[in-house]
Amino acid sequence: MSDPDRTTSLEAFARDHLARLDETSLRRHLVPTMRGPQAAATRQGRSLVSFSCNDYLGLSQDPRVIAAAQAATALYGTGAGASRLVTGSHPPLAALEERLATHKGTEAALVFGSGYLANLGIVSGLAGPRDLILVDALGHSCLWAGARLSGAKVLRFAHNDLGDLEALLTKHRSRHQHALILTERVYSMDGDRGPIADILHLADAHDAWTLVDDAHGLGVIGKDARAPLEMGTLSKTLGSYGGYLCASRAVVDLMTSRARSFVYTTGLPPASAAAALAALDIVEAEPDFAARPLALARRFTAQLGLPEAQSPIVPILVGEADAALGLSAALEEQGYLVVAIRPPTVPAGTARLRVAFSAAHTEAQVEGLAEAVMGQWPRTLPPLRERVRETYAAAVDSPPARSCASLTTPT
């Protein structure tokens, strides 16, 4: 029997790291939270309006989506039973893949267990040690994880910087068998958009493949150029859970046999697939409703005098982690849940509030939040109002030459 009072090296390791996270205000805590319709969230008995949720259309609470999930559970059960290569695809999954492919205009689609798993499997399934992967400096953690897992040579290009991307392709492409570019349609922590059409053009010129992560764009930002590899998640606008790849039939068939995070894991539950399918119906049938989060985000940026929102995500850059936590806590006191985002999710020195708008918000709630933010600037962060504007402008509007090479790698 081990002595419960003895400090093992494992315990020492965990405690030491937690202490360092505490010192730098970077420790994470789980907070019991009840989510409800109309962007409502209840925490510690307090009713809040959530501006921290990626449920951009509020569809996770929509009665039609809930009913679809319930019906699928009643018909097919709660779980997929095993990997889809073993137990097969339950009917809602096959229907969802067909609909996703139609929505994206591709020949085929493949649903994964989550967006994170999708990127792990797609990137490492397509690229290997003889290949080159170029990742936008602000690319999501799962793009970097997939790239590293592949064993390919991985290079970062400065955020949205076509000149840097082209220079890297010119210098390195010829020494590798294949090249893969990883970008996002909407950057999850900055809300700005990747220059997809230009990247595709560059990729063609250098015989590179482009994967666009559309986790935050699907349905809510209008039309954009389509990449040969379009991946995304069912967990944000579609209000469900799971990830997907939309691509040619050959690529999807290859991933079905080769993407390890597809082959060696259990299929998505029927309820998740059916919910996403019902949500996709709503996205396609109600374009005005789907445009609402972006319109509300623009109302907010106009009210605060910030650069116009490019997506339903608006960052309020604060700088240091403790200051971001302070601003978040002050807003929570006034009834708004706007969670602070800290390193390593974002680069060091760019802790922020990430405001996410939903069709479920009312205009009055958006205006109320803007006023609350304005009210906090002079009080909790005296010199910050101008700095927030400047930092935001630097992050979103700067010429593409802005190099992130010196910033912490987002992981």
Ligand X SMILES: Cc1ncc(COP(=O)(O)O)c(C=O)c1O
Instruction: Read off φ and ψ for residue 158, nearest 5 degrees.
Output: -60, 145
CB 241 within 8 A of CB 271: no
Stretch that binds ligand X, among 111-119, 255-263, 294-302, 370-378 (CB under 6 A): 111-119
With respect to ligand X, which residue has the nearer C-beta, 160 or 365?
Answer: 160
114 lies in the binding site for ligand X (CB under 6 A): yes
Residue 184 within binding range of ligand X, rule CB under 6 A: yes
Q: Lay out the sheet containing 336-337: strands in order across.
A: 33-36, 40-43, 46-50, 336-337
Q: CB of residue 312 vs ligand X: minimum separation in angstroms?
A: 13
Binding map of ligand X across residues 200-229, x = CB under 6 A, - = no contact: -------------x-xx-------------
* 238 sits near ligand X (criterion: CB under 6 A): no
**Residues contacting residue 349 through CB under 8 Å, at least 6 positions apart:** 319, 320, 343, 407
Q: In whole angstroms, how close is the CB of 115 to ligand X at the nearest point?
A: 2
Beta strands in 223-350 (DSSP E): 229-233, 243-247, 313-319, 336-337, 340-341
Structure tokens at 16: 């030491």
Smallest gap, in angstroms, from Cβ of residue 256 to ligand X?
A: 19
111 counts as binding ligand X under rule CB under 6 A? no
Asked if 150 is part of the footprint of ligand X (rule: CB under 6 A), the reply reads no
Find out whether 213 and 184 touch, Cβ atoms under 8 Å.
yes
Ramachandran bin of 408, using left for φ above 0, alpha for ψ from -120 to 50, beta for the remaining angles: beta
- Chosen residue from 52, 160, 235, 301 binding ligand X by CB under 6 A: 235
| Number of chain positions touching ligand X (CB under 6 A) | 13
User: Beta partners for 136?
Assistant: 157
Work out whether 243 is an interface residue with ligand X (CB under 6 A). yes
| Cβ neighbours around 70 below 10 Å, total | 13
Distance in angstroms (rounded) separating the CA atoms of residues 197 and 239:
28
Residue written as tokens 């937690």? 18
- Between 60 and 114, whose beta carbon lies closer to ligand X? 114
Nearer to ligand X, 202 or 238 (CB): 238
Interacting residue with ligand X among 68, 127, 142, 327 (CB under 6 A): 142
Residue number closest to ligand X, CB atom:
115
Shortest CB 232 distance to ligand X, Å:
8
What's the closest the beta carbon of residue 201 comes to ligand X, in angstroms?
A: 22
Report DSSP letters for 351-377, one per residue. EEEEEE--TTS-HHHHHHHHHHHHHHH
Q: Any contact of residue 140 with ligand X (CB under 6 A)?
A: yes
Which residues are tagged catalytic? 54, 140, 184, 188, 213, 216, 236
Give the tokens for residue 264.
């060696």
List residues near ligand X by CB under 6 A. Answer: 114-116, 140, 142, 184, 188, 213, 215-216, 233, 235, 243
